[in-house]
Structure 1
Amino acid sequence: MRTILILAGLLSLACAHAAEPAAAVAPEPNPTAIVVIDRAALRAAPRESARQQVTLWQGDSLEVRGRRMDYLQVYDHRRERAGYVRAAQVRLLSLRPQDAPGLLAVVRFVRDTPGAEALGIGYAAAFLRAAPARDIDAEAFDALGTMAERLARRASSNRGKADDAVIAAHLEVVAAYGVAMRSVERDGRVQVCYDGDAFRRVIALPADAERKARAALALTREDCIDPATTPFERASLDGWRADVLDRVPRADLPGYLGNRLRMRSAAVWSSLAFERVRRGEPATEAAARALEELTGVDRQELAEDDASAYDDAAVRVGAVRWAAEPAPAKKAAGLAVTTAPGQPGETCIRLVDAKHDDGAPLLQRCTYGTVWANSARANPGGSALTLAVQPLDAWREMWVFHRDGAAWTVDVVPPAADAPDIGYIEFAGWLPGGRKLLAAREVRVGGRFSRTFELLDLATLAVEKRADKPESLSAFYRWQDAAWKGQTVSLR
């Protein structure tokens, strides 16, 4: 049972006791102590030479049953062990309602202290137990969630390091308070994530915009989504994520925090746009919302630590941006593509021209990816055509149809050849003669983002030249497509 449910039961029990006649009031329970240092010893007798029974960690809660010299006689309910602990290694807690403000003051003090998460969560649990229900607001849940989130991040980033044992012990301590963690395996590594119960309460309770913003960002993390989630479950989850983000009032937020919400919203709405297209539903509104959120980011207020999140949002929006573009007003007179259903889940692409219609296309190729037919761009000579095809969320390829002698063929150019993560590659213009084309590419590989502007040879699709800025490549600067320049997010 989660901490808050347990504590709510305790609060109800306390109220029930308060309503009983004086003669029926139970004796006051034994006082509680909380361990404030790591590796404190629970000993069999009140002396340093006595046998150590267990190792205690900061945040551990103990029932105090007596005192012998410099030691407290305690009982550890989590391990079901009795023993003695040095009084200097613990702090006695008063759980009377009048002492709740003092407990909250400690929570405020340790809330942002790295390494003190287990201790802070222990004090937060004590406050929730001691405070009257009317005095519990979003502040305590915000602090509890913040410390749980930071502990989960520490557990993820410190795998295999010297303090592994300490973090593992702290995770066990907070689990005893009902703080649930889950592990997600992604790209060969394990990500520890807080389940977000306290943040859900912050969203539900009256709270200021900054607390709600922090809670929404914690609840909608992309890296805590299980890769094994089914498409149907993912669509439902993304809809919930978008709703959580939309509940946060943005008018009074600091610029950097507003940027974080916009970047997260852009990523979520891009996923929703792709999912809707896959289900055959209208996606223009979702894609337009993703573009709106991305363009609303104030670069002057972008924190240095948020640069990666900004690139992530831009790549996701860039991959699905064709969903926001209108369909061609009429069929092109020259080289063009049409689409038709194939096997269940397939879309068949037919390459046609003035002499070859759908009944006798120049070439037909079927795919399970999403075909953005409005992205088709033929060269002036009618000997080649590029098309955007998106097989996965945040992963868009460029298909190049070209004539090889008397026959037609199609080659697929992916955003990256090795260790694909997220990315897109898109047509950016034809050079005179139609034998060379320009492309823009953004990709994340191994956690690092790269953005390049390239000149490709049509015959081999090999990159002849590349630059990190279009103005650094003379051919790109001179021959880039005007429509691409007005639509792409790669020039942000």
Structure 2
Amino acid sequence: MVIALSLSALASLAIVTQDASPLRAAPRDSATSQAQLTAGDALEVRGQRLDYLQVWDHRRERGGFIRASQVKLTGTTAADAPELLAWLRFVRDTPGQEALGAGLAAAWLKAAPAQTPAADTVEALDALGSMADRVARRASSSNAAGNAQPTAGTNTRLTAQLDGMATYGVRWLSLEVAGQMRICYDGEAFRRVLAQPAATPEQRARAALGLTRHDCVDPATPVSQRDALDRWRADVLDRVTDADMATLPELWRQRVFMRRAGVWASVAFGQARRQEAAALTASAQAGQRALTALAAVNKNELTDDDLIELNDAAMRVGASRWAAEPAVAVTTAGNQRLRVLTIPGSQPGETCVLLTDASHGPQQPLLRHCTFSVVWPASASVNTAGTAVSLAVQPLATWRELWLMKRTPDGWVLDVLPPATGNPLGTDIGVVEFAGWVGDGEPRVLVSREARVDGRYNRRFEVSRIATGEIDKQASTPQLLSAFQRWQDAGWKRQTVMLR
């Protein structure tokens, strides 16, 4: 990590402690303000007049006067290091003081002697990474869809804090997601924490979580790079060892489990998309790791905010859960035999789904539909009458659809049921699952949906008419629907994560 602002030549250093502190042309309140300083700005002290300090701002390359009460005076020698570290400990968990914390961290890293204990260095890097990650989240949330628009003053302050921290070598990544700008910390301090043997389990866990955020993965990342990135994220989380997990505070352990579940689900999807024997084996192993991690989460040990993360992790795992199931392509319905087959399409990465029976082979299937999504043949299910077939199809790591193939007087047709009316290429995630066939009266199908669209989470269970697609009944839990009590599929009940 590079500290962009040189502090070596400053015998007496003043670190600004208040945002929007004016740098004045003279030591009086009535003097012209030459700049608005940000908490954390480092100034060289060159003298004192009245209750003002005469300073030089190397960042803006101008001098002036600032009230002594708006700065903290310190030096950059070894004798100053303990006090700087104490100040850093004080502000690291204070929202809104991240830029000040970055200035203190930079000053401490300069002042710390060569024989400084490694634990102190890790603590300073951990604090810097945590503060950078926190201010980036706040900057992103101020522009998130559905949130109240921040005031002009809030935007100005956030921009000043981001610019101020960038002065000390903190780098930001700007991503455009669903028409919104997202700011992410590049994670350099966290990488250094993970490289230090002196890091505590909690520090390693915090660093691993900071480096593997789902919302800081660029949606525009090419497929090959995304797969490599997901595997790297999984490796980073594995840096938190089993021994670390055994001693971690309960809350941090649950957070690592949830992140592992989501990341391994993405790995499973990426491997399945390659459609190679070795990759499919790796996909099955990754899918099982995702399910194992999710099963290890104890929701009673989570905060309200963490429950949101749990729902997201469950949907990610639910989207790829068929990766952990054996690849079966044959299903039976009554006296006739229906087969759901998959063959490579005419274009790279394309898969064609064929519905066949005893009279209609692959050359003349009952239905043929090609897609660039991942098709899970093991999910195929046929109703008793042999008039409808369900199939799980996953276009994205965080979005799984339900294909409903049904027989009509004009032949077989395909309906695609999405988890919700959302934008899976943005921040929305969701899963829709086949939950059973209703065998009395008009043919119907049980469907469960779970999605987060525009920041709103929704889970519901439905009884739908196969012929028209209309929803007969729906409820927030399956216990409220008699059809679910009688007709739900045993395999769905055993495998789904929606009943967590």
What's the TM-score, normalizing by structure 2?
Answer: 0.90
Corresponding residue for residue 84 of structure 1 = 65
How big is the shift at 1:313? 0.7
Deviates more, 1:41-50 or 1:246-255: 41-50
Alignment of 1:42-81 (within 5 A): 42-81=23-62
Q: Distance in 1 between matches of 2:344 and 2:21?
A: 68
Q: Distance in 1 between matches of 2:419 and 2:412?
A: 23
For residues 246 and 418 of structure 1, do their structure 2 counterparts lie closer, same or farther at Cα, with a shift above 3 Å needed?
A: closer
One of 192, 197, 201 as aligned partner of 2:188: 197
Corresponding residue for residue 147 of structure 2 = none
Deviates more, 1:445-454 or 1:154-163: 154-163
One of 104, 123, 127 as aligned partner of 2:108: 127
Paired residues of 1:73 and 1:83 also in contact (CA < 8 A): yes
Deviations 1:215-251 (A, max 9, x none): 1111111111112111111111111111111111211
For residues 224 and 418 of structure 1, do their structure 2 counterparts lie closer, same or farther at Cα, with a shift above 3 Å needed?
A: closer
1:212 paired with 2:194, answer: no
Alignment of 1:255-274 (within 5 A): 255-274=250-269
Corresponding residue for residue 173 of structure 1 = 164
1:245 paired with 2:267, answer: no
How big is the shift at 1:179? 1.2
Alignment of 1:6-155 (within 5 A): 29-135=10-116, 136-155=120-139
Q: Which runs of 5+ in 2 are unaligned?
A: 144-149
Q: Distance in 1 between matches of 2:311 and 2:456?
A: 10
1:412 paired with 2:416, answer: yes
One of 427, 450, 458 as aligned partner of 2:434: 427
Q: Distance in 2 between matches of 1:75 and 1:256?
A: 45
Q: Which has the higher contact order (CA 8 A, sep 6+)?
A: 2
How big is the shift at 1:487? 1.0
- Please give the secondary structure, in 2, of the residue aligned with 1:350: strand
Paired residues of 2:329 and 2:378 also in contact (CA < 8 A): no
- Please give the secondary structure, in 1, of the residue aligned with 2:469: coil
1:300 paired with 2:309, answer: no
Amino acid at match of 2:236: V
1:483 paired with 2:491, answer: yes
Alignment of 1:443-458 (within 5 A): 443-458=451-466
Amino acid at match of 1:459: A
Corresponding residue for residue 391 of structure 1 = 395
Deviates more, 1:430-439 or 1:293-302: 430-439
For residues 50 and 361 of structure 1, do their structure 2 counterparts lie closer, same or farther at Cα, with a shift above 3 Å needed?
A: closer
State percent identity of aligned pairs.
Answer: 53
Amino acid at match of 1:402: K
Q: Distance in 2 between matches of 1:364 and 1:475?
A: 31
Which has the greater radius of gyration?
1
One of 334, 339, 343 as aligned partner of 2:337: 334
- Please give the secondary structure, in 2, of the residue aligned with 1:163: helix
How big is the shift at 1:338? 1.1
Paired residues of 1:2 and 1:180 also in contact (CA < 8 A): no
Deviations 1:238-289 (A, max 9, x none): 1111111111121111222111111111111111111101112121001111
How big is the shift at 1:137? 2.3
Paired residues of 1:180 and 1:194 also in contact (CA < 8 A): yes
Deviates more, 1:65-74 or 1:219-228: 65-74
Amino acid at match of 1:251: A
For residues 276 and 97 of structure 1, do their structure 2 counterparts lie closer, same or farther at Cα, with a shift above 3 Å needed?
A: same
Q: Distance in 2 between matches of 1:131 and 1:360?
A: 76
1:322 paired with 2:322, answer: yes
Deviations 1:374-429 (A, max 9, x none): 11111111121111111122211111111112522121111113445211111111
Deviates more, 1:471-480 or 1:254-263: 254-263
For residues 470 and 364 of structure 1, do their structure 2 counterparts lie closer, same or farther at Cα, with a shift above 3 Å needed?
A: same
- Please give the secondary structure, in 2, of the residue aligned with 1:441: strand
Q: Distance in 1 between matches of 2:27 and 2:422?
A: 62
- Please give the secondary structure, in 2, of the residue aligned with 1:216: helix
- Please give the secondary structure, in 1, of the residue aligned with 2:337: coil
One of 351, 354, 358 as aligned partner of 2:355: 351
Deviates more, 1:294-303 or 1:426-435: 426-435
1:221 paired with 2:221, answer: no
Deviations 1:324-347 (A, max 9, x none): 111239664622211111211221
Paired residues of 1:30 and 1:65 also in contact (CA < 8 A): no
How big is the shift at 1:86? 2.1
Aligned length: 473
Q: Distance in 2 between matches of 1:326 and 1:134?
A: 56
1:286 paired with 2:270, answer: no
Q: Which runs of 5+ in 1 are unaligned?
A: 15-27
